[in-house]
Chain A
Amino acid sequence: MSPEAGVVSIETLLEGVSAVPSLPLFHARLDEAINHPRSSIADIAKIISEDQGLTARILKLANSPLFGYYSRIDTITQAVTIIGVQQVRDLALAISVMGLFEGIPEDLMTMELFWKHSIACGLTARILATSQRESNLERFFVAGILHDIGRLVMFINIPDLCREMLEMSRNEGRLLHEVERERLGFDHGDVGGVLLQRWKIPTRVAEPVEYHHRSMQAGQYPREACILHLADIISHALEFGASGEACVPTLDSRAWDRLALSPNLFPSLVREIDNQFAETASILQGA
């Protein structure tokens, strides 16, 4: 047992001195409207439209090759009608979380690279899910974008320890998430999972995030966790952005078997990721 185990807990991380950002109140209102039996699409669209920056990005995404709709989507009402309420909500979540984290020490992580990796993972998970004919694709996209969010919490609250763990993984040629688990008793996936629960993000997104490095242990959404696990590996392999991990995380062959995919899926998958990445990243990261 290392000295840190027990001293640093997920709870202390989330209630740390440097406060972890909270989700904009907007999302609570949006959820309330979505879950209210008598709210209409117009009500939901009205709440989203109040945030102009968010509205613009959702519309840009809806008109990008990500969706590939033939006709233009010009209003949030159309977007909600065509893409779906849950989907637009998930997109809104992905977009607003990306602006929340500030004050990460530059030597640990540049936010631009961090989100590049996350966007690539979200895209990959989404394309993988498409090929498997999963429904509600945006939950995969959001889960991918949020999958390493626990690491940001750790960078903010225990920067020195993170620096030590990064060095340790580099020097010993090991995976950072394994070093985290050894030193702390949990990894960034767990931290992300707890944070998302606190933000009241649905389990269908929070659980895969929590288990993306040990997808075989996910209880409710094992398939989603396995897809996220594979998407993380592929986005590392394609070297989009950075997560802190120096090489491609180890593929769990049981997760691969569970997904029952053919490796021959990869050529078209990689082509699609390359086709969609630049535009999606510029919409999500653009000023």
Chain B
Amino acid sequence: MIPSETVERLMAIVPIDNLSAGMLLKSDVCDRSGRMLLPAGGELTDRHLKIFRTWGVLEADIADGDNIETAQILAGVDVDPVRLAAAEEAVKRLFRLNDREHPAIKELMRLCIARKVSHES
């Protein structure tokens, strides 16, 4: 079991797609080779986000990050609950021989569901 403290730390790591201007950094953001792009305590602006993408940053440690809903499947898009349920069902079947609690599988399943719903619309 992962201690709950670690879970909380993991939760504060927010994927780039969910970052927005105004968020406060809890720790330094570095590019893939470890060069620092923005120090801890900095406030994100749209320009920072653009720079992060350019340098291949995937995530950032955000103060109060655990309050941000990272589990949302399609941000800002209205999804027919029936279609969403059907997509979820199909993806679960597809992944039935995998550990659905594994972080990689979890994220992959989330993406597959979102992709199915948006492809079929």
Contacts and interface: CB of A to CB of B under 8 A. Distances in A.
B94 interface: yes
A267 B111 CA distance: 7
Given A250-B97, A253-B102, A264 B13 contact: yes
A247 interface: yes
A268 B56 CA distance: 10
B95 A247 contact: yes
Most buried by B among A173, A233, A256, A263: A263
B98 interface: yes
A154 B118 CA distance: 37
A238 B15 contact: no
Interface string B96-117: 1111001111111101100100
Interface string B1-41: 00000000000010111000000000000001000000000
B68 to A, nearest CB: 13
A248 B98 contact: yes
Contact-residue size bin, chain A (C-beta under 8 Å from the other chain): 20 to 34
A265 interface: yes
A261 B105 CA distance: 12
Contacts of A239: 94
Contacts of B94: 236-237, 239, 247-248
Contacts of B115: 238, 270, 274
Contacts, number: 68
A175 B97 contact: yes
A248 B95 contact: yes
A262 interface: yes
A264 B104 contact: no
A262 B59 contact: yes
B99 A264 contact: no
A174 B96 CA distance: 10
Contact of B15 (A236, A247, A256, A264): A264
Nearest to B57: A264
A131 interface: yes
Given A237-B95, A264-B16, A267-B111, A251 B102 contact: yes
A36 interface: no
Interface of B: 13, 15-17, 32, 56, 58-59, 93-99, 102-109, 111-112, 115
7 contacts: A174-B97, A237-B112, A248-B97, A264-B13, A264-B107, A267-B111, A274-B115
Top 10 closest pairs, chain A to chain B, by CB: A263-B107, A264-B15, A264-B58, A264-B59, A263-B103, A263-B104, A266-B107, A250-B97, A248-B95, A270-B111
